[in-house]
Structure 1
Amino acid sequence: MQSRRAGNVLAAFSFVLWGILPLYYQFLPQANINELLALRLIFSVPVMLLVMLLLKRPLPNVTELLADKKSFFMCGIAGCIMSVSWYAFTWAITHGEVLAASLGYFINPLFAIALGMFFLREKLTKAQVIAVVLAILGIAYQVWQYGELPWLSLLMGSFFAIYGLTKKYIKYDALTSVTIEAAILTPFAAIYMLWLYFSGDSVSLTSGTSTFLLYVGSAPVTVAPLIFFALALNRTSLTMVGLMQYIEPTLQFLLAVFLFGEVFDHTKAISFSLIWAGLIFCTLEALPNLFHKKRKVALPN
């Protein structure tokens, strides 16, 4: 029970860290997202290796990794997919679109449900069907009112869900997988940064030490919640993790409306409300299973 409680705390903490990430990126308004992504990839690898040493986890063995070619290949695919989601997310929170980021992660579980149905042949429950329908209605209402799709939100939500699906085909442990995903893309990121440096077009390398450190800092501040999340997965249930994931977009929503002063108009209120209603249905459906599992664990005592 103590392990499960620790897992719940770690999971909640990881989502809180993700939720307050927009606060960090307020120091980089209108940032060059290409450089942010490149430096995040480059410095994520040493950060992850350091974490493994601190946690006394074995460092990745190249021979063993290459023995599982499918997992290695899927790590490359996962890294590319995650980069798209992270690129959209970072652009949103550095360009006054934190509400779009919040919406993206609110609809992410619904994309995950749809992918599970189509690719893993999972059957939808009644609550999940209702949630998907309400989400479609919420997005459709925005399109009708604004005359355009909420591309940023859809990009973040869909690609993060695809990333989760891809991870199911990777047999490496969570920390190793994340390290390999970044390591595979690091050479491309390094070549890009060298090209910017020699062409004199780099923002991070020519704007002073503090700006450069803020760009580099995007690696540890985004890797930290991922580490706590990975540690939580082995200590708590996926159901609890699924319920806690709403902490992140909720905090982003509160920051956007009450701290950053983004406009939350009538259209967004109706759209968000429809999506929230669907998520409430899914949450209420999952709660009995969660409590049942807790009682089941407690019986031997």
Structure 2
Amino acid sequence: MQSRRAGNMLAAFSFVLWGILPLYYQFLPQANTNELLALRIIFSVPVMLLVMLLLKRPLPTISTLLADKKSLFMCFIAGCIMSVSWYAFTWAITHGEVLAASLGYFINPLFAIALGLFFLSERLSKAQVAAVALAIIGIGYQVWQYGELPWLSLIMGSFFAIYGLTKKYIKYDALTSVTIEAAVLTPFAVIYMIWLYLSGDSVSLTSGATTFLLYVGSAPVTVAPLIFFALALNRTSLTMVGLMQYIEPSLQFLLAVFLFGEVFDQTKAVSFGLIWFGLILCTLEALPSLFHRKKKIALPH
């Protein structure tokens, strides 16, 4: 029980950290998202290696990695997919679109449900069918009112769900996987930064130490919640993690509306409302099984 309680706290803390990330990026308005992504990839590797040393986790050897070439290749794919999701997220929160980021992560579970249906042959419950239908109606309503798709939200939600699906085919442990995902992309990021510097177009390398450190800081501030999340997965249930993941977009939503002053008009209210209602249905459906599992754990053997 102590381990499960610790896992719940770690999971909740990771989602809180993700939820307040927009506060950090307010120091980098209109940031160069390409550079942010490149520096995040480059500096994520030493951060992850340091964390593994502090947690006394064995560092992966070349022979161990090459022994499972499929997982190594899937780490490269996962890294590319995560880069797309993270790029869209970073652009949103550095260009006054935190609400779009919030919507993206609210609809992420619905994309995950759809992927489970098509790729893992999972069956949808009535609540999940209703949630997906409500999300489609909600997004359709936005398209009808605004005349365009909420591309940022759809890219974030879909690519993060695809990232989760990809992780199912990686056999390395969670911390090793995250490290390798960044490591295999690091050469491309380094080449890009060198080219940017030589062409005189770099912002982070030519705007002073403070700006450079803020760009570099995007690595630890985004890796930290991922580490807490990875540690939580071994100590709590996926059901509890699924219920708590709404902490992140909820905090982003509150920051966008009440701190950053983004417009939350009637169209967004209807769209968000439909999606929230669907998520509430899924949550209510999951609660009985969660409590039943807790009761079984509490029974003496």
Question: Normalised by the size of structure 2, how large is the TM-score?
Answer: 1.00
What is the distance in 2 between the residues matched to 1:103 and 1:187? 33
Match of 2:68 in 1: 68
Which stretches of structure 1, 4 residues or more, deviate above 2 A after TM superposition?
none
Q: Look up the equivalent residue of 1:173 and give its one-letter code.
A: D
Q: Distance in 2 between matches of 1:266 and 1:62?
A: 55
The percent identity for this pair of structures is: 88
Structure 2: how far apart are the matches of 1:207 and 1:201?
11
Report the 3-state secondary structure (helix = DSSP H, G, I; strand = E; otherwise coil) of the residue aligned with 2:288.
helix
Alignment of 1:219-234 (within 5 A): 219-234=219-234
Match of 1:108 in 2: 108
Counterparts of 1:155 and 1:262 in 2: how far apart (Å)? 20
SS in 1 for 2:261: coil
Tell me the SS of whatever aligns to 1:243.
Answer: helix
Asked if residue 277 in structure 1 is aligned to residue 277 in structure 2, the reply is yes
1:299 equivalent in structure 2: 299
Matched, 1:134 2:134: yes
| Paired letter, 1:148 | E
State how many pairs are aligned.
301
194-203 or 114-123, larger mean C-alpha shift: 194-203
The 5 Å alignment of 1:26-37 reads 26-37=26-37
Which residue of the partner structure matches residue 167 of structure 2?
A: 167
Shift of 1:199: 1.2
Q: Quick check: 59-68 or 233-242, which moved more?
A: 59-68
1:120 equivalent in alignment to 2:117: no
Q: What is the CA–CA distance in structure 2 between the aligned matches of 1:174 and 1:300, rounded to whole Å?
A: 32
Letter in 1 for 2:113: I
One-letter amino acid matched to 2:166:
T
Residues 168-219 of structure 1 deviation map (CA, whole Å, 9 limit, x = unaligned): 0000000000000000000000000001111111000000000000000000
Q: Cα deviation per residue 1:231-263 (whole Å; 9 max; x = unaligned)? A: 000000000000000000000000000000000
Matches within 5 A, 1:43-58: 43-58=43-58
Instruction: Please tell me whether residue 201 in structure 1 is matched to residue 201 in structure 2.
Output: yes
- Which letter does structure 2 place at the counterpart of 1:263? V
Partner of 2:96: 96
The answer for the alignment partner of 1:216 in structure 2 is 216
Q: Distance in 2 between matches of 1:286 and 1:273?
A: 20
Deviation, structure 1 residue 281: 0.2
Root-mean-square deviation over aligned CA pairs: 0.5
Deviations 1:261-284 (CA, angstroms, capped at 9, x unpaired): 000000000000000000000000
- In structure 1, the partner of 2:177 is 177
**Could you state the TM-score of these two structures normalised by the residue count of structure 1?**
1.00
Residue in 2 that maps onto 1:87? 87
Tell me how far apart the structure 2 counterparts of residues 53 and 195 of structure 1 sit (CA, whole Å): 32
Q: Distance in 2 between matches of 1:78 and 1:242?
A: 20
Q: Distance in 2 between matches of 1:94 and 1:226?
A: 20
Deviations 1:117-161 (A, max 9, x none): 000000000000000000000000000000000000000000000
Q: 1:118 and 1:62 mapped to 2: Cα distance?
A: 35
What per-residue deviation string (whole Å, max 9, x for no partner) do you get for residues 66-107 of structure 1? Answer: 110000000000000000000000000000000000000000
The separation in 2 between residues aligned to 1:223 and 1:96, in whole angstroms, is 23
Q: Using the alignment, how far apart are the partners of 2:98 and 2:227 within structure 1?
A: 23
CA deviation after TM superposition for structure 1 residue 62, in Å: 1.0
In 2, the alpha carbon distance for the partners of 1:98 and 1:127 equals 28
What code does the residue aligned with 1:82 have? M
d(CA) in 2 for partners of 1:163, 1:66: 22
Unaligned residue ranges in structure 2 (runs of 5+): none
